[in-house]
Structure 1
Amino acid sequence: MDFLKPETVLDLKNIRDELVRMEDTIIFKFIERSHFPTCPAVYREGDANLRIPEFEGSFLDWALTRTEMTQSQLRRFESPDETPFFPDQILKPILPSVQYPRVLASYSPEININGEIKDVYINQITKLISKYDGESWENLGSVATIDIECLQSLSRRIHFGKFVAEAKFQADRPLYTKMIRERDIEGIYENITNSAVEEKILKRLCVKAEVYGVDPTNKEGQRKITPTYLVKIYRDLVIPLTKKVEVDYLLRRLECE
């Protein structure tokens, strides 16, 4: 998606095409994560074996913070589709800033549910995609590295709900304006939900998991990711969190009117 061409960004077809591409990224990141066990030490604050001087938090938090600091200097978080997990730690870019045309409302960066995404990933998703439940001390760095990639891919996908919300608001301003003024959260949820599209997503994920989740030269080999788990992750976690972003964004939309 070209964010320098705002006329294309809020096209729902373009948004859906981008979300389809994100599915592939997320699936392949999950497959990479499936080579390792759960490794709970990576997520445990104050773990005796992972003491980090002058840092409060888990090993993953430390690695993610440092990663985002470097990426921010490469202007990753200037892009309107990127949302940092530690916004108070990002640094000024070394590269010249890109002046993206404004498409979303000015408060958009404040719609950030990365804390919830990280919690869901650690406590629910890793249990579904890991090789087994246990530690692998020699692979903690590798686990943290792929966890960061998984988290950032999930975050981008879920926070893309802002673009969905803005597109839907622009498509029917009177309806959404009325619901926002009445604080009709149930009505907003009902109107942003497209059950047919969601069902299509889940069916497509089943097919992708079948194709990507096993070595095509050894179909009797161990499956790296199962359709059941992938559908569960999207149906129970990714789609609801995306809707939460949409609703949070829409509830403030009249601030810009």
Structure 2
Amino acid sequence: MDFTKADTVLDLANIRDSLVRMEDTIVFNLIERAQFCRSEFVYKAGNSDIPGFKGSYLDWFLQESEKVHAKLRRYAAPDEQAFFPDDLPEAILPPIDYAPILAPYSKEVSVNDEIKKIYTDDIVPLVCAGTGDQPENYGSVMVCDIETLQALSRRIHFGKFVAESKFLSETERFTELIKNKDIAGIEAAITNSKVEETILARLGEKALAYGTDPTLRWSQRTQGKVDSEVVKRIYKEWVIPLTKKVEVDYLLRRLE
């Protein structure tokens, strides 16, 4: 997808292809995280002994990672949403002339705080290898966490492109809904139950395929590195609803 060309980015077929690819990334990231115990220590604020920092170890690692990525202009891209946007340095690479695809306020539409809380409180306990702590793996755990959080954030905030595309294709309909602040009407207009069912079915197949050693027979041992039903649940209960929230929040301001 070329973010310098608005027509390619807002093509729903291209958006769909990008979302399908993101599923692969998220499933593989969950598989990686599933090999470690929960290690709740890294998520608790106040546990770190980092001078002047009051957040969790994960917060510190994520914030420092974003600083490095920002220097390479990651968060200048319209499809990236930083978890700590107020503490990013200037990029050392020259800027890219991105097409004005989204509304100017698009970066203000963020659910990253919700994503991080849901991930640490709900998703990690569902996919981790056990409830215990693994001090020797804290670093590995946080590397997996950051990659998964960034992948989830990108996928969920891609809803802005979906929203913009739908607004441009049905401008009159959405304009009326926005003027009336009809949140339920907007949600109904952006919802396609059949597409959601297809996504969940595809995710289940991917989790089974990617999490299984193809050299082993089913009779040799229990297969699967991550529960396919858990992956489907993650999308059904959190990823899809949060994506819709992003779409609604974006559309409610679209007439500004």
TM-score by length of 1: 0.97
Do 1:215 and 1:221's aligned partners in 2 also have CA atoms closer than 8 Å? no
Q: Which residue of 2 aligns with 1:254?
A: 255
Shifted more, 172-181 versus 2-11: the winner is 2-11
Q: Distance in 1 between matches of 2:215 and 2:130?
A: 24
1:1-257 alignment, distance < 5 Å: 1-47=1-47, 50-218=48-216, 219=218, 220-255=221-256
Do 1:83 and 1:112's aligned partners in 2 also have CA atoms closer than 8 Å? yes
Cα displacement (A) at 1:221 = 4.4
Cα displacement (A) at 1:223 = 2.0
Q: Distance in 2 between matches of 1:44 and 1:20?
A: 33
The DSSP-based 3-state class of the residue aligned with 1:37 is coil
- The C-alpha deviation readout for 1:46-91, integer Å capped at 9, x for no partner, is 12xx311111100000000000000000100011000000001111
Q: Distance in 1 between matches of 2:156 and 2:37?
A: 25
Q: Distance in 1 between matches of 2:143 and 2:9?
A: 31
Amino acid across the alignment from 2:181: R
Q: Distance in 2 between matches of 1:26 and 1:2?
A: 22
Q: Distance in 1 between matches of 2:223 and 2:16?
A: 32
Do 1:214 and 1:221's aligned partners in 2 also have CA atoms closer than 8 Å? no
Cα RMSD over matched residues?
0.8
Amino acid across the alignment from 2:95: S
Q: Distance in 2 between matches of 1:202 and 1:108?
A: 27
- The C-alpha deviation readout for 1:232-251, integer Å capped at 9, x for no partner, is 00000000000000000000
**How many pairs were matched up?**
253
- The C-alpha deviation readout for 1:151-210, integer Å capped at 9, x for no partner, is 000000000000000000001001000000000000000010000100000110111111
TM-score by length of 2: 0.97
The DSSP-based 3-state class of the residue aligned with 1:28 is helix
The DSSP-based 3-state class of the residue aligned with 1:254 is coil
Cα displacement (A) at 1:222 = 4.8
Q: Distance in 2 between matches of 1:222 and 1:36?
A: 17
Note the residue ranges of structure 2 that are not aligned, 5 or more in a row.
none
- The C-alpha deviation readout for 1:105-127, integer Å capped at 9, x for no partner, is 00001001100000000000001
- The C-alpha deviation readout for 1:7-31, integer Å capped at 9, x for no partner, is 1110111100000000000000111
Q: Distance in 2 between matches of 1:30 and 1:109?
A: 26
Note the residue ranges of structure 1 that are not aligned, 5 or more in a row.
none
Amino acid across the alignment from 2:199: I
Amino acid across the alignment from 1:3: F
Cα displacement (A) at 1:213 = 1.4
- The C-alpha deviation readout for 1:126-163, integer Å capped at 9, x for no partner, is 01111111100000011111100000000000000000
Q: Distance in 2 between matches of 1:226 and 1:122?
A: 18
